[in-house]
Structure 1
C-alpha cells in the first residue's frame, strides 16, 4: 500500500490552483471553499486547506470566514508578467486572423532578419539586444497585418516591463528565449504556407509554455 506524502499532495494542488488563477480560470473575487476543493481533488480537508493557506501566504488568495478563500487582486511578479504576456499573445492571434482575412503572403525577408537578430543576441548573451530584436519582429508583423495600433500596445508593455525590470524578469525572458525563437521560426513557416490554424496553434503553445514557467 502506497502512503501519500500529504505535503507533496498539497504542493501539487497548490500548483494546479495557482496555474488556474494565472490562466484566469478563477477571476478576482471568486471564492474557493475548502470542502469543495477537497472533494474536487479527492483529498482530506486538511490537505486542501494546506494548499489554500499556501496560496494565501503567496498573496494570491485572501482567507475568509467559514473555510473560504477569495481570489485577490495582486501585483506579484507572476501576475504582472502573466497579464502582459496574455495581452501580447492574444494580439498575435489577432494578427494571424487579420493576415488570414487579407489572404496575402507575408513579406518574409525582414521578419527572418529580425529573427536572426534574436538568435545572435542570445548567442552574445545580450538581453537588451534580444528585447529590441523581439520588438522589431513584432512591429514588422503588425505592419504587414496593417495593425500598427497593436504595435503601440507592445511598446507600452515593454516600457512597463522595463520599469519593473528585475532579476526575476530577466531570468524568465532568457529562460524562455530559445523556445521563443524556435516558435517564431515555426510561426513564419506556417504563415508563409498560409497554414493559419497551425500558426495560431504555435502561438497558443508558446503562451502555455510561458505560463508553465511562471507556475513551476
Structure 2
C-alpha cells in the first residue's frame, strides 16, 4: 500500500505547464499566499506565457501589499477589498478561529467603517484597477454575520462605481443574495481596456469579474 502524502507534498506546487502560444493575463492571483519571492513567482508565470497578473486583496494588510506590489512591478495590477468573511470578523470578532484566520476581538461597526475607508483610499490609487474580492460567503459565516457581509458588499460596490474600477466578486452559497444586492445597488459600468505585453494597461475584462465557490460534496 502506498504511503500517505506528507503535508509538504500536498502543499507543493504542481509542475509548470507547457508555455502558452500567446501571452495572457491571470485575473486573480494571491502572490502573498505563495512561497518564494514576487520575482520568482512572476518569472515562473512569464515562462509559461502569463505576462500580467492581478494581485487580489482580501483584507487591509493584503490590500496594502497588493497596491505596493503593483506600484513596484510592471507585470502586476492590484485590486483591494475586504473579503466577505473578513467583514463579520471585524465587526463580531473571531474568538474561536472559525474563519481559519486566527483569533480576533470584536471591533463593532466603527471598525468596519474605518476598514472600508482605507479600502476607499487605496481604490483611488492608479495602480489599483479593481475593488475585490468582495461579495457574500455563507459557507463559513453564520446568520449573525450576514448583515456585516452585506453592508460591506454594498460599500464596495459604491467604492468601485465612484472610482470607476472593476468589481471582483466572491460568491459562495449566496448566489441569490449576490444578484439581489447587485440589482439594488446597480452594478459598476465602464469601459474595459486591452492589456499589451510590456505595458501597464488593464487586462481586457468586463466591469465585473466573479468567482463562485461551490460547497464541497458531502
Greater RCO (CA < 8 Å, at least 6 residues apart): 1
Work out whether the TM-score is over 0.5: no
The TM-score normalised by the length of structure 2 is 0.29
The TM-score normalised by the length of structure 1 is 0.29
Q: Which has the higher strand share?
A: 2
Q: Which has the higher helix share?
A: 1
- Which one has the largest radius of gyration? 1
